[in-house]
A and B are shown apart, each in its own frame.
Chain A
Amino acid sequence: MMLSGAEIVVRCLQEEKVEYVFGYPGGAVLFLYDELFKQDQIRHVLVRHEQAAVHAADGYARSTEKVGVALVTSGPGATNAVTGIATAYCDSIPVVIISGQVPTAAIGQDAFQEVDTVGITRPCVKHNFLVKRVEDIAPTIKKAFYLAASGRPGPVLVDIPKDITVAKCEFDYPKSISMRSYSPVSKGHQGQIKKAVQLLMEAKRPMIYAGGGAVLGNAAEQLTKLTKLLGFPITTTLMGLGGYPASDRQYLGMPGMHGTFEANMSMHFCDVLLAVGSRFDDRVIGNPAHFAEEPRKIIHIDIDPSSISKRVKVDVPIVGNIIDVLDEMIRAVEASTRRPEEDTLATWWKQVEEWRRRDCLKFKHDGEIIKPQFVVQKLWEVTNGDAFVTSDVGQHQMWAAQYYRFDKPRRWLNSGGLGTMGVGLPYAMGAQFAHPGSPVACVTGEASIQMCIQELSTCKQFRLPIKIVNLNNRYLGMVRQWQQIFHGGRYSESYMDSLPDFAKLAEAYGHVGLRIDKAGDVEGALREAFQRKNDLVFLDFQVDPTENVYPMVQGGKGLTEMILSAEDL
């Protein structure tokens, strides 16, 4: 039977078992919207800004093992989506974005709402396509889903001119796809795995450092098993939180710029470092030259060969699917009679525990003023550590990462790579759609939340009972912190004047709003919010405006050169 291009797109999405499409209509996608209207297998979520459509699809993907889908119109629809696409790209999140385009004959004519979407998005997608014939729609969408989810995942954009959505052809969804130019590896190299295991067994001061790849590769279980088997200390990056249970004794917290003292010291002074799906990013190891001063052997497992030996030289590179490689390593360790020498390991642990005793995350908390760290701690208690937690970007993001202890993967959603303010609420939407009965909290700041505040309207329409935890310090806090430390306290444009009354604003959108001024009221307010199972509750916590995030490694400094508290300034 002959189907129109628009019907084919919708059929393809159905074939891919897509539950939700996050989107916003416009001229170039009218036929697609008409087809969505005629069916009820896929639910369309009407956001209030295309940036949020991509963020929500991205949040959906992060909190599940599925591909997120966004649909936008040509021109401004596509350009609004770019921040969302770049955010997903930087964190390797599988999202398929379908964008409308002006009719084929109008392309290049400076037509109304025409932009070169494929050109604009090229540097921030894993791949993109401009569909030129209706016959190409089905194979292209098949490829898009395959590319987005396989290998190192990432966003894939499919740009479809309006006339192609009208043209007709036979529909046949390809069962499988093979591309001669694309064949991601899966199994790691046997010899390298053997070498790695041997190094681990001989290590005197071993350390495991896992990143977002361990979470995205669904390898948390294997990572935990291997770490337990070896008995080594482990740290997980901002993107890797939940890849190993934070409440376990072997866990040292997050490394890097705002990492714990014990994680950073162990990263620096270990003699064998096992890096799992992490990329030695500048926010993690600080100055690579300083990091290289201490001799250590590095084993690096990653799906993407270009991540290996990019910023630091690696001794044993292993390219492969993390889950497969870790499985092999577990088998090799179990089969071997050798174990790391107990006394040596105990000596190392003694050192690590000494570092841990610095208790670098302690904070002064007295009187009625609300400490932002305290709010996150209480959030963790009230939700039994079991919520999906999203954040925006800034101090509140770091406090959420430091004080909410994630025991499970895919529970922590934030923009680690691009650092996009505004992701928090749409991420929470994506997570809440994917997990309807589960508690979802968005830890945000008064500045970040205003970057996608319009989505409160979407939340009302779809009755999403998200809890917004606004750590309101009246400042672009992270900017203020840097200005305090590096710019002589000249707070240039970092104070937020004329803030709205957030509780009233939430009410105006039809939600529940609470303002909390006293430390004694924090827990009660959180409990009340989570008891309201059907309401979105906006909790506007008036927190200490001068609080800073510690520990802190300044840009360009080494991991061991930490500022541990205000006294070190």
Chain B
Amino acid sequence: MRHVISLLIENESGALSRVSGLFSARGYNIESLTVAPTEDPSLSRMTIVTTGSDEIVEQITKQLNKLVDVVKVVDISESAHIERELLLVKVRATGKDREEIKRTSDIFRGHIIDVTDASYVIELTGTQNKLDSFLGALDASLILETVRSGICGIGRGDRVLKV
């Protein structure tokens, strides 16, 4: 089962390696991990996408909670939540491909944020599925480079993860 774990951690040097070290030392999967400081610069927020049985994910959250720098941990995928990922894709765009690519990007509500006479860089945010579909809709031979951020997640409604 896929789980999305959000956590708040003291924004100290080495905090990230405590978390990533825990996952590698205990053999847990990390599909993606994103981290950045919050509006309170002393805290960082992390979103970790992982897979594992219920028992493993229970252990993961317990082990994360045990890290001294970790302030809070929530498995946000246990209830209604939103996930978004950012994709930047550089495509070869020449001749009649330019129009076609622009149209596909519009359909997915992408933005072309860099243009040369031979290429576009398209920015797209959405769920992992949406980004996958967009990449699938592009002619694979035109894709020069892709970069994805890994997902950020937040609970729906009035559930908040805060100190």
Contacts and interface: CB of A to CB of B under 8 A. Distances in A.
Interface of A: 118-119, 122-123, 126-127, 130, 147, 179-182, 304-306, 309-310
Interface in B51-66: 55, 58-59, 62-63, 65-66
B17 interface: yes
Contact of A310 (B13, B21, B59, B69): B59
A130 B13 contact: yes
Contacts, number: 37
Given A122-B14, A180-B163, A306 B62 contact: yes
Contacts of A130: 13-14
A147 B17 CA distance: 20
A306 B10 CA distance: 21
A305 B62 contact: yes
Centre residue among B14, B18, B25 by max chain A CB count within 10 A: B14
Given A118-B14, A305-B62, A306-B63, A182 B21 contact: no
Given A180-B163, A306-B63, A122 B68 contact: no
B50 to A, nearest CB: 16
13 contacts: A118-B14, A122-B14, A127-B69, A130-B13, A130-B14, A147-B68, A180-B71, A181-B9, A181-B10, A304-B66, A306-B59, A309-B55, A309-B58
B70 interface: yes
A56 to B, nearest CB: 25
Contacts of A118: 14
Contacts of A122: 14, 17-18, 21
Interface majority SS on A: helix, strand, loop or mixed?
mixed
Contact of A126 (B10, B14, B68): B68
Interface in B71-119: 71
A119 B63 contact: no
Contacts of B63: 306
Interface string B1-17: 00000000110011001
Interface in B20-35: 21, 25
Interface of B: 9-10, 13-14, 17-18, 21, 25, 55, 58-59, 62-63, 65-66, 68-71, 163
Contacts of A147: 68
A122 B71 CA distance: 18
Given A306-B59, A309-B55, A310-B59, A181 B69 contact: yes
Contacts of B66: 304-306
A44 B88 CA distance: 59
Nearest to A181: B71
Contacts of B14: 118-119, 122, 130
Contacts of B13: 130
A310 B71 CA distance: 22
Given A119-B17, A305-B66, 5 more contacts: A180-B71, A181-B9, A181-B69, A306-B65, A306-B66
A254 B163 CA distance: 45
Given A122-B14, A122-B21, A127 B68 contact: yes
Contacts of A127: 68-69
A353 to B, nearest CB: 37
Given A123-B25, A306-B63, A310-B59, A181 B68 contact: yes
